[in-house]
Structure 1
Amino acid sequence: MLPSHWVKIGLMLLAFVLATPHMGALHASSEGGHGGDSKKSEKKGEGKDANKPENGAIVVGPLTVNILSNKGFRFLRLSMLVQCEDNAAAERITLPDAREDLIFRLSTKLAEDLLTNAGKMALRQELIELFNKYAGAGKVKNIYFQEFVFQ
């Protein structure tokens, strides 16, 4: 049997390991599209801001959110391409209030419901409605999930 201080150290290390990707995702996602420095994308050799709309499409994420589960809390890492009618509508869904609304909405979801294809399709429809609130009625045409990972 391990002494209690070793258990505490192990739990702290586990918390650090689990929190490290989460903190990096928040840092990376807070820069793009909100006046962040475009030097980050230039370092990767992209040469342009990765969070700028192109032909009405924009990438939202990656975003890491705590979600509910029958087994306790879990993390959902989500990235999606949102197709809008025009670039102006696409830019409006990246505003801070839209992002906050997205985080609040995702944090109310149950992981077990999102594991099924039907659950993902229902989430897609719900997010289209949410983004239309910011982009304008009927401006969001579709959402394509690029990353959908549970931990």
Structure 2
Amino acid sequence: MRHGVQLLLVFLVLVLAVPASVSASSEGGHGGGDSKKKEKSEKKEKGDKKEAGKAENGVITIGPLVVNILSNKGYRFLRLEMIVECADNEAAERLVKADAKEELILMLSNKVADNLLANSGKMILRKELIDLFSKYTGPDKVKNLYFAEFVFQ
């Protein structure tokens, strides 16, 4: 009986291995099917994601950032992602430089979670962020700021 089970296992392994080799050869042989799949996934990745830190039409995404913020219960985490509209790409890309990003993190880490829970607190934060970013881009270069992600934990 044990011998029969072993033969059955060997048979199943051989049968299951055959379709993989047949499908590869039907794609033009020599692994052509895999390269086509790889090309499609590379095109998809390039089309879906733009390069980090690069602005497009004056719009740049900042984040997601995770920052410790103050709370009555000690520290909490804020995960924040923003979309910033600027007058041009040069101004937008200035916002992801190290000095601007550091000042952003320092500003956010001094915020109190309870003040940011209400929409009014978020609108005040938006105004403060636009003012901060204008310091790096120049006056009237930051047109608008949108929160793409705003999560407390």
Q: TM-score, normalised by structure 1?
A: 0.70
SS at match of 2:128: helix
Which of 128, 131, 134 is the matching residue for 1:129?
131
Shift of the alpha carbon at 1:49?
Answer: 1.0
Partner amino acid for 1:113? N
1:65-91: CA deviations, max 9, x gaps? 000001110000000000000000001
Unaligned runs of 5+ in 1: 1-41
Partners of 2:130 and 2:113 lie apart in 1 by 19
Corresponding residue of 1:77:
79
Partners of 1:134 and 1:68 lie apart in 2 by 26
Structure 1 segments of 4+ aligned residues over 4 angstroms from their partners: none
TM-score (norm 2): 0.69
Paired residues in the alignment total 110
Select the residue among 88, 92, 95 that pairs with 1:93.
Answer: 95
Relative to structure 1, is the Cα distance of residues 123 and 43 closer, same or farther in structure 2, using a 3 angstrom cutoff? farther
Aligned to 2:108: 106
Q: How many angstroms apart in 1 are the aligned matches of 2:130 and 2:45?
A: 32
Three-state SS of the structure 2 residue aligned to 1:148 is strand
In the alignment, the residues of structure 2 paired with residue 97 and residue 89 of structure 1 have an alpha-carbon distance, to the nearest angstrom, of 14
Give the aligned residue type for 1:103: I
Matches within 5 A, 1:1-151: 45-47=45-47, 48-151=50-153
1:4 is matched with none
Q: Distance in 1 between matches of 2:94 and 2:63?
A: 15
Cα distance in 1 for residues equivalent to 2:120 and 2:89: 30
Change (3 A) 1:49 1:126: same
Q: How far apart are residue 43 of structure 1 and its match?
A: 9.0
- Cα distance in structure 1, aligned partners of 2:43 and 2:63: 19
Return the alpha-carbon distance in structure 2 between the equivalents of residues 140 and 116 of structure 1: 24
Deviation at 1:138, TM superposition (A): 1.1
RMSD over equivalenced CA pairs, Å: 1.5
The alpha-carbon deviation at position 50 of structure 1 amounts to 3.8
The 1-side partners of 2:43 and 2:106 are apart by 32
AA of the residue aligned to 2:45: G
Percent identity over the alignment is 65
State the one-letter code of the partner of 1:75.
F
Q: What residue ranges of structure 2 are gaps of 5+ in the alignment?
A: 1-41
